[in-house]
């Protein structure tokens, strides 16, 4: 079902925040549960032991790479082709981080780029405000239709993750309990999942929060201080760069714009585990302005449904 024309009609952000859309009760319940459990965990175990913290942090780091490199740069924008084994490993850790299935994430994200800064951009703060863009759109409006936005991913190796997602997320919640007991349950489960959730949600909310930008002008922002908090998704914070040129795998465009996902891709390239990495035009000489130096490549923007349908041939 396509919902874009219905957003302006229904203005779902005017609903009370606690009323999920039809079919979104499970998502709403999950969000409520991890927040309540995180709060309980932080009260009972405010400081985790070293081993619990290292496991939680390692899972966050792997999930961050999965989201930024695999889901965002490789699957949604087709700016590189990953070795299939590496791709499957990264998908596992991304689902394990509570970031959703690759098909649905890609559909939502391509839809966002295609409708950015219009009323049909469901995850924009422009009309619904910060909390709508941050969390509420996840459960108060149907997700984007994969048949329209990510048909190139409707093949077995991605479809299987849509089916496995509930089991993997269930495993993510109880893993810490099995290994470490209750302290592990709270830190490896809900607290880690809540942290990963909010760091990813900032991309839609904070990184598009430009209250004075007129409609149809680019609201995306680069926010340097968000980068370190995003851990291995550091690079997603250069969101304005990304909206200017979604057809390059590199989000940080100067040597000072740290982009961990890009460094990871360069590392994989050395190991021959990724190919076809789309680079911005040469950044030198450095005296030139970044805008002039990094011209959009003549690549295909998969945010258009027609290009998305043809995306399988790109990758
Ligand atoms: Zn993108
Ligand atoms: Zn955006």
Tens digit of pLDDT per residue, the chain (315 long)? 455 578 888 899 999 999 999 999 999 999 999 999 999 999 999 999 999 999 999 999 999 999 999 999 999 999 999 999 999 999 999 999 999 999 999 999 999 999 998 889 999 999 899 999 999 999 999 999 999 999 999 999 999 999 999 999 999 999 999 999 999 999 999 999 999 999 999 999 999 998 888 878 899 999 999 999 999 999 999 999 999 999 999 999 999 999 999 999 999 999 999 999 999 876 554 444 444 444 444 444 555 545 444 443 332
- Report CA Rg, the chain: 19
Spacing, Cα 280 to ligand 1 middle (Å): 15
User: What is the whole-number distance in angstroms between the Cα of residue 90 and the centre of ligand 2?
Assistant: 22
Query: What pLDDT was estimated at residue 8?
Result: 86
- Ligand 2 centroid distance, CA of 158 (Å): 23
CA of 203 to the centre of ligand 2 (A): 7
Whose atoms come closest to the Cα of 73: which ligand?
Answer: 1
The pLDDT value given to residue 288: 46
- Does 263 reside within a domain? yes
Distance 45 CA to ligand 1 centre (A): 37
User: Per the domain annotation, does 1 fall within a domain?
Assistant: no
- Least distant ligand from the CA of 208: 2
pLDDT of 176? 96
Provide the H-helix boundaries in the chain.
4-10, 25-44, 50-65, 84-96, 102-115, 125-128, 130-131, 137-140, 146-149, 156-180, 182-186, 192-204, 226-229, 239-244, 260-270, 290-293, 305-309, 311-314
d(CA 9, CA 220): 25
* 7 domain-assigned: no
Separation of CA 220 from chain center: 15
pTM of the complete model: 0.88
Indicate the length of the chain as a whole number.
Answer: 315
CA of 239 to the centre of ligand 2 (A): 6
| CA nearest to 34, candidates 163, 147, 138 | 138
Q: Kindly state whether residue 9 falls inside one of the protein's structural domains.
A: no
What local confidence, expressed as pLDDT, does residue 4 receive?
A: 55
- 13: in domain: no
Question: What whole-number distance in Å separates Cα of residue 124 and Cα of residue 8?
Answer: 13
DSSP-assigned states of every residue in 266-303:
HHHHHTT-EE----PSP--STTS-HHHHSPPPS---TT
Residue 20 within any structural domain of the chain:
no
220 CA → ligand 1 middle, Å: 11
* CB-count burial class (<10 Å; 0-12, 13-18, 19+) for 223: middle
In a domain, 19, yes or no: no
In a domain, 14, yes or no: no
Among all bound ligands, the one having the nearest atom to the CA of 209 is 2
Q: Total domain count for the chain?
A: 1
Its domain, for residue 154, covers 26-314
Q: Among residues 182, 38, 210, which one has the least CA distance to residue 116? A: 210
- Give the largest Cα separation in the chain, rounded: 56
């Amino acid at each position: 079902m396509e919902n874009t024309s219905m957003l302006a009609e229904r203005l779902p952000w005017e609903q009370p925040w606690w009323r999920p859309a039809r079919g979104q009760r499970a998502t709403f319940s999950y969000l409520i549960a991890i927040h309540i459990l995180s709060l309980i965990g932080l009260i009972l175990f405010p400081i985790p032991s070293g081993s619990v913290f290292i496991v939680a942090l390692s899972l966050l780091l792997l999930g961050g790479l999965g989201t930024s490199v695999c889901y965002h740069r490789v699957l949604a924008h087709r700016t590189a082709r990953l070795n299939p084994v590496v791709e499957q490993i990264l998908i596992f850790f991304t689902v394990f981080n509570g970031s959703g299935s690759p098909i649905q994430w890609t559909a939502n994200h391509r839809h966002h780029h295609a409708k950015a800064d219009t009323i049909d951009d469901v995850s924009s703060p422009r009309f619904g405000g910060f909390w709508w863009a941050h969390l509420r759109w996840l459960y108060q409006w149907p997700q984007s239709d994969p048949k329209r936005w990510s048909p190139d991913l409707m093949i077995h190796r991605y479809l299987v993750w849509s089916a496995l997602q509930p089991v993997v997320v269930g495993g993510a919640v109880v893993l810490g309990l099995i290994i470490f007991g209750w302290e592990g349950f709270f830190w490896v489960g809900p607290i880690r999942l809540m942290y990963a959730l909010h760091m990813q949600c900032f991309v839609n909310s904070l990184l598009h929060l430009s209250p004075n930008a007129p409609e149809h002008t680019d609201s995306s922002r680069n926010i340097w201080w968000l980068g370190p908090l995003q851990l291995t998704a550091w690079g997603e914070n250069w969101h304005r760069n990304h909206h200017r040129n979604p057809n390059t795998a590199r989000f940080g465009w100067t040597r000072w714009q740290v982009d961990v996902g890009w460094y990871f891709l360069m590392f994989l390239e050395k190991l021959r585990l990724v190919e076809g990495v789309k680079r911005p035009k040469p950044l030198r000489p450095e005296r030139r302005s970044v805008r002039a130096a990094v011209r959009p490549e003549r690549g295909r923007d998969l945010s258009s449904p027609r290009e998305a349908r043809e995306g399988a041939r790109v990758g």
